[in-house]
Amino acid sequence: MPVTLPGGAATRAETCYGRFTGNEWVCVDYLRDYREEIQQATVDHLVLTLAAVGLGLLLALPLALVARRWERLEGLVLGLATSLYTVPSLALLPLLVPFTGLTATTVVIGLALYCLTILVRAFLDGLRSVPAEVRESAVGLGYDGFRLLTRVELPLALPVVLTGLRVAMVSTVALATVGTIVAHGGLGDLINHGRATDFKAELLTASVLCVLLALALDLLVLLVQRLATPWTRARLEVAR
């Protein structure tokens, strides 16, 4: 006799995730039968994370440049970026819904605003870590304005910026789950459904995948950091 699942599906009586035949935390049957749903939720979660962090980077750089150029505005810029992080996601996303609707765009914008707390500070600290003598030498060679920023300052600021990016990436993976408020939470949708229906296999699987996704993205950014800033490794080898 088929068993009705928390999600409304029916399966064999010997399954390990039915309401009456078992509701186990670790269930291979669930991974097999719901493979497509799990894969889609994981992809959606990854897309939300990358889109939000990408938008955060685009917003954070000009804000950091403004704060560096006009020191009197630094406190305002950093204060604004920090204050956004204090707004609960349960309040922020509904505030965006009238403008962007119940769409993934709402989640991306909300997560990008949260990223600003980390990324604006990372860009500002990174740009300020560039030695003054290096900047002066570049200006003496004819670098100025945009060329100075893109050819000298940003490359030298990369170690600090990418360190901040790692933190932003990992925190965004966790925060993306709140997108389930507007039905676009990626793995958060599975977590919410698993919690609401006591679907243990679904809840554990989605939670573990969130952790694995955060670790994978952190390692990816770390690899990019090592490849993009070889001089930092050389500096460490010399110090040893």
Q: What is the DSSP string of 95-160?
A: HHHHHH-SSHHHHHHHHHHHHHHHHHHHHHHHHHTS-HHHHHHHHHTT--THHHIIIIIHHHHHHH
Q: Are 221 and 162 in contact (CB under 8 A)?
A: yes
Question: What's the whole-number average pLDDT of the chain?
Answer: 85
pLDDT reading at 237 higher than 60: no
Adjacent-strand bridge partners of 10: 4
Range of the domain at 115: 41-228
Rounded Cα distance between 64 and 124, Å, is 5
Tell me the mean pLDDT in the region 161-182. Answer: 92
**Is 240 inside a domain boundary?**
no
Q: What is the pLDDT of residue 142?
A: 84
Residue 198 lies in a domain: yes
Residue 59 or 31, more confident: 59
What CATH number corresponds to the domain at position 139? 1.10.3720.10
Tell whether the model's pLDDT for residue 129 goes beyond 70.
Answer: yes
Whether residue 84 is contained in a domain is answered as yes
Judge whether 18 lies within some domain.
no
pLDDT of residue 19: 56
Asked, for residue 239, whether it belongs to a domain, the answer is: no
- 17: in domain: no
Reply yes or no on whether the pLDDT at 123 is more than 50: yes
Higher-confidence residue of 11 and 159: namely 159
Helix residue ranges, H only, the chain: 28-33, 35-69, 74-86, 89-100, 104-128, 132-140, 146-148, 154-175, 187-197, 200-228, 230-239
Average pLDDT, integer, range 20-26 = 73
**Inside any domain, residue 62:** yes
93 found inside a domain: yes
Q: In angstroms, rounded to a whole number, what is the distance separating the alpha carbons of residues 164 and 159? A: 9
pTM for this predicted structure: 0.84
**226 near 219, Cβ under 8 Å?**
no
Number of domains forming the structure of the chain: 1
